[in-house]
Each structure stands twice: as structure tokens, then as C-alpha cells.
């Protein structure tokens, strides 16, 4: 009988909504977890700062001594503390003590992933982290394992629920950024301090993890170009709408191939307009989705809930079953694959496309002056639309692909043209052929 086998001992570090859910599910369905793992799965300790704040966790499991749990008899350590320290030191200690690790800590992995993967490898144990990106969506295992025989060219993700909630709401109500953020705050979709979400830090950590897996290359958070959504106004959303596009905060991981065949990896987070018929355009509210383009598989999309206690617990438990089963059968999950080690592409030299909306003087020759400026920077124009008359005269330009620095320089010079009253909106364009 499976139930009579030596149990796999699991210790949790940190126990917020996700941890509480993990403990609850393990204790409510012991037979199912035993069947899936090949042995009973037993929680033997839960390290928290304030034990009296955890009435849902059996008291005898609670401890304030995380280090003791890591050094103790557990087979698998589940880390749900978040942040860099003490999570990093605790996990390194756990791996060195021969324990497998399951973590949801995206910031830690983006900053110190290599160190952790190396420690896992050196000690013959596993590190799993499905919950670190896109919550419940099974994404990292497919990238690491299902697509291991393919060549991924691009990963484009909506990986921050708060930003996506705000942008979706701005799109459907026409309201401005500040107003929508306040509403999101009120409804619990944004933290009191939303910086990590709206300024793209959270998405940048996830982009680093995705790029590392997709391109078999070490990419850290520092390699990721990052722009948030706080500069987006109702005018930008309206401009997108008038072109049948919508604005999303995207994490983009791309294999860039130069004319001479040299490959590099661009990892970036910024808002961009995408066509309304793109599969990512319909991803509304706090949902996450990741669009993958691979050489053989073609286009794939993964969609689901990116955050929340139960969804994140689902991802953590999937990893826990895998790690525990490996303990039972003396197996081993996939190790870090960084054999390609492609260089990081600086944003300046990353090919992008811009949409630029200008308030212009209503007089002849404006278009030729603007077009000349694009020409000077070797930026080729895809679409121009002139609208309105008098004070309402406007010019909308969508470029072909060019180096981001050339596009930025073009916009700066255009802003100084006498015939241009104001640069009303500048936004990158993604998800369509250039």
C-alpha cells in the first residue's frame, strides 16, 4: 500500500494565502497526493514570523525558526517568503543539505537563478518554480520540457494582472490612468504601493525567467529593458482604438538575428499597441496569457489566472508532486539549460515599430517636414494618416521596424519641429507583420 510507505516530508517557509491553501489541500486530500506521488506527502513544519496569525495551520507545525526547518529532516522545502533575503540564503542552505526546492519567488530567480540552479545541480536535487511566472498557468514546464525539441523565437506575455486590469478598464471605460488606478486600488486589484506592478518590475523579473528558459541563456532582471504604464493616458488608448488596436503591458523575449546571422536575446517590458484580433488582445481583467512562437510548433498560447491564493497553490502543488515523486523514485527533474548563452541585446539596438500621433499646424508642407525627419534617421514609414483641420489637425504615423534608438531620436527631433504643436502619443507596435 502506498499509504504505508515512508512519507515525503515537506516544510514550508512562509505561509500567506498561498501557503495556507497548500497546507489545507495536502491535509484534506492525503490519499490523492499519495497516489500521485507514490508515497504519503506529509507537512512537517511551517516557518512563519508570527505563529498566532495562522489559526488555519495546525499549531504543532508552526515555528519561527526557518533555518532549523531547512537543516532538519524535510525532503522538500517550499519557499513562499518572497524577496531576496532571507529566501536566498535559506534556499541555498536547503539545496546544499540535499533537499529539493519548490519556490514561487520570481525576484529571487531573476536575480540569483544561476546560483540556485548550480547549487541544485551540484547536490543532485531539484528546483521547481512554475508559480513564479503566470501563477496557475502551466507554462514553465511546457517551455522547459514540451518544447525542448523545438526552437523558440519569441515569447510575448501579459504577465502582470494589475497592469492588465488597469489597461483593460481604461480601454472599456475611456477613463484616465490615475482614476483607473484608484478604482483598481479600491477593488483590491492593485496594492497600496503599486510600483512593482505598474512600473514593470514584476513583469521584468518574469521576462528574465522566460527568456532564460526559452533561449537556453542566462538572462537576469538587469538585462531586461523596463517601462511601465503610468505614462499612458486616455489619449493613447483612444489612438489605439481608432487603429483597431488595444494597449497591453507586454513582456517580450525575442531571438534577434542580425543580417550576418549573429543571434542575441532581447528581453523587455513595455506597453505596446497590438491588433484587436491578436489572441492576446482578448485577455482582459486580471488574467495572464503568454503567446509563444516556435519554429516547428508555430503559434501557441497559454491562458489563465496569473495570481491569487488558490491558482498559485495549484502551481506550487504540481511542482511539489514532481519533486516528491523524484525523491520516491530517485529521479531528477530537468536541470538548467544555458548552453546557448546568447548575448543580451541592448534596447537601443532592438528592432521595434512606433506609432506616433502628432498635433500639427494646419498648413501645407507639414507632412513633408515630418517625413524628412524620419528619412534622416533612416526610419521607414508604414502608414500615415492626416486628420482634422485648424487647431484639431493631427498626423498619425506608424513606422516599419527600425532600431529603437533611431525611432526615439526621430521622435525627439519631430517634437522640436515648428509645425508640430505636440507629440500627443508615442507607443510601440507589436503583434503584426512589419
Give the active site residues.
Answer: 206
Which of residues 158 and 420 has its CB atom nearest to a copy of itself in the complex?
158
Should residue 16 be labelled a site residue for a copy of itself when binding is judged by CB under 8 A?
Answer: no
Instruction: Write the CA distances from 42 to 28, 70, 99, 325, integer angstroms.
Output: 12, 15, 15, 13
Neighbours of 270 (CB within 10 A): 21
Should residue 151 be labelled a site residue for a copy of itself when binding is judged by CB under 8 A?
Answer: yes
- Consult the annotation and say whether 191 binds a ligand: yes
Report the alpha-carbon distance of residue 400 to residue 382 in Å, rounded.
Answer: 5
CB of residue 277 to a copy of itself, shortest distance in Å? 9
Cβ-contact 156, 250 below 8 angstroms: yes
Which of residues 69 and 338 has its CB atom nearest to a copy of itself in the complex?
338
Should residue 332 be labelled a site residue for a copy of itself when binding is judged by CB under 8 A?
Answer: yes
- Consult the annotation and say whether 19 binds a ligand: yes
Q: Which stretch binds a copy of itself (CB under 8 A): 30-38, 347-355, 403-411, 421-429?
A: 30-38
Q: Which residue in the block uniquely carries the three cell numbers 540556485?
A: 116
Should residue 427 be labelled a site residue for a copy of itself when binding is judged by CB under 8 A?
Answer: no
Should residue 17 be labelled a site residue for a copy of itself when binding is judged by CB under 8 A?
Answer: no
Choice from 149, 188, 365, 390 touching a copy of itself (CB under 8 A): 149
Choice from 62, 181, 207, 300 touching a copy of itself (CB under 8 A): 300
Bridge-based pairing state of the strands 394-399 and 381-387:
antiparallel
Q: Using the CB atoms, write b or e for 138-159: b if 16+ within 10 Å.
A: ebbbbbbeebeeeebbbbbbbb
Should residue 174 be labelled a site residue for a copy of itself when binding is judged by CB under 8 A?
Answer: no
- Contacts with a copy of itself by CB under 8 A: the residue count is 56
Choice from 17, 64, 73, 146 touching a copy of itself (CB under 8 A): 146
Residue 103 sits at φ, ψ, to 5 deg, of -140, 150
Choice from 16, 25, 71, 121 touching a copy of itself (CB under 8 A): 25
- Consult the annotation and say whether 261 binds a ligand: no
Cβ-contact 400, 417 below 8 angstroms: no
Choice from 150, 183, 263, 359 touching a copy of itself (CB under 8 A): 150
Should residue 117 be labelled a site residue for a copy of itself when binding is judged by CB under 8 A?
Answer: no
Should residue 148 be labelled a site residue for a copy of itself when binding is judged by CB under 8 A?
Answer: yes
The contact pattern for a copy of itself, residues 303-322, with x = CB under 8 A and - = no contact, is xxx--x-xx-xxxxxxxxxx
Report the alpha-carbon distance of residue 66 to residue 59 in Å, rounded.
Answer: 15
Which of residues 36 and 154 has its CB atom nearest to a copy of itself in the complex?
36
DSSP labels for 131-197? GGSSTTS--HHIIIIITTTS-EEEEEEE--HHHHHHHHHHHHH---HHHHHHHHHHHTSS-SS-HHH
Report the alpha-carbon distance of residue 120 to residue 93 in Å, rounded.
Answer: 10
Residue 274 sits at φ, ψ, to 5 deg, of -130, 150
- What radius of gyration do the chain's Cα atoms show? 24
Bridge-based pairing state of the strands 100-103 and 152-158:
unpaired
Q: Which stretch binds a copy of itself (CB under 8 A): 81-89, 200-208, 259-267, 301-309?
A: 301-309
- Consult the annotation and say whether 20 binds a ligand: yes
Should residue 121 be labelled a site residue for a copy of itself when binding is judged by CB under 8 A?
Answer: no
- For residue 131 the three cell numbers come to 508559480
Choice from 222, 285, 334, 343 touching a copy of itself (CB under 8 A): 334
Report the alpha-carbon distance of residue 127 to residue 94 in Å, rounded.
Answer: 11
Choice from 130, 197, 227, 404 touching a copy of itself (CB under 8 A): 130
Annotated binding-site positions: 13-20, 106, 191
Residue ranges in contact with a copy of itself by CB under 8 A: 21, 25, 29, 32-33, 35-36, 130, 136-138, 141-142, 145-151, 216, 279, 282, 294-305, 308, 310-311, 313-322, 325, 329, 331-332, 334, 337, 339-340
Amino acid at each position: 500500500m502506498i499509504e504505508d510507505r515512508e512519507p515525503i516530508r515537506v516544510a514550508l517557509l512562509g505561509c500567506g494565502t498561498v501557503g495556507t491553501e497548500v497546507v489545507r489541500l495536502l491535509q484534506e486530500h492525503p490519499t490523492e497526493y499519495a497516489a500521485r506521488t507514490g508515497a504519503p506527502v506529509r507537512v512537517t513544519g511551517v516557518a512563519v514570523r508570527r505563529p498566532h496569525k495562522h489559526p488555519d495551520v495546525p499549531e504543532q507545525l508552526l515555528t519561527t525558526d526557518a533555518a532549523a526547518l531547512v537543516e532538519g529532516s524535510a525532503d522538500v522545502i517550499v519557499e513562499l517568503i518572497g524577496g531576496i533575503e532571507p529566501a536566498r540564503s535559506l534556499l541555498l542552505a536547503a539545496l546544499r543539505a540535499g533537499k529539493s526546492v519548490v519556490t514561487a519567488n520570481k525576484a529571487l530567480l531573476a536575480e540569483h537563478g544561476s546560483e540556485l540552479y548550480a547549487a541544485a545541480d551540484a547536490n543532485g536535487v531539484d528546483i521547481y518554480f512554475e508559480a513564479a511566472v503566470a501563477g496557475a498557468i502551466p507554462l514553465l514546464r511546457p517551455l522547459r520540457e514540451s518544447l525542448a525539441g523545438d526552437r523558440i523565437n519569441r515569447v510575448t506575455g501579459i504577465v502582470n494582472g494589475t497592469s492588465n486590469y488597469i489597461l483593460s478598464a481604461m480601454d472599456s471605460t475611456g477613463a484616465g490612468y490615475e482614476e483607473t488606478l484608484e478604482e483598481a486600488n479600491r477593488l483590491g486589484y492593485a496594492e497600496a504601493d503599486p510600483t512593482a506592478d505598474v512600473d514593470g518590475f514584476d513583469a521584468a523579473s518574469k521576462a528574465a525567467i522566460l527568456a532564460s528558459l526559452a533561449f537556453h541563456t542566462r538572462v537576469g532582471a538587469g538585462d531586461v529593458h523596463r517601462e511601465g504604464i503610468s505614462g499612458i493616458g486616455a489619449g493613447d488608448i483612444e489612438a489605439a482604438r481608432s487603429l483597431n488596436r488595444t494597449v497591453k503591458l507586454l513582456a517580450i523575449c525575442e531571438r534577434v538575428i542580425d543580417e550576418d546571422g549573429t543571434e542575441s536575446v532581447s528581453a523587455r517590458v513595455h506597453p505596446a499597441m497590438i491588433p484587436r484580433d491578436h489572441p492576446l488582445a482578448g485577455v482582459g481583467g486580471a488574467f495572464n496569457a503568454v503567446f509563444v512562437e516556435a519554429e516547428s510548433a508555430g503559434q501557441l498560447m497559454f491562458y489563465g489566472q496569473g495570481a491569487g491564493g488558490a491558482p498559485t497553490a495549484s502551481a506550487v502543488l504540481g511542482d511539489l508532486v514532481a519533486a516528491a515523486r523524484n525523491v520516491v523514485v530517485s529521479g531528477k527533474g530537468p536541470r538548467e539549460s544555458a548552453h546557448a548563452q546568447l548575448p543580451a541585446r541592448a534596447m537601443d539596438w532592438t528592432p521595434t515599430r512606433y506609432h506616433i500621433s502628432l498635433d500639427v499646424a494646419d498648413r501645407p508642407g507639414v507632412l513633408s517636414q515630418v517625413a524628412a525627419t524620419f528619412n534622416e534617421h533612416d526610419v521607414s514609414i508604414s502608414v500615415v494618416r492626416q486628420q482634422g483641420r485648424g487647431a484639431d489637425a493631427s498626423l498619425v504615423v506608424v513606422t516599419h521596424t527600425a532600431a529603437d534608438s533611431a525611432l526615439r531620436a526621430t521622435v525627439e527631433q519631430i517634437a522640436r519641429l515648428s509645425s508640430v504643436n505636440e507629440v500627443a502619443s508615442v507607443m510601440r507596435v507589436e503583434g503584426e507583420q512589419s
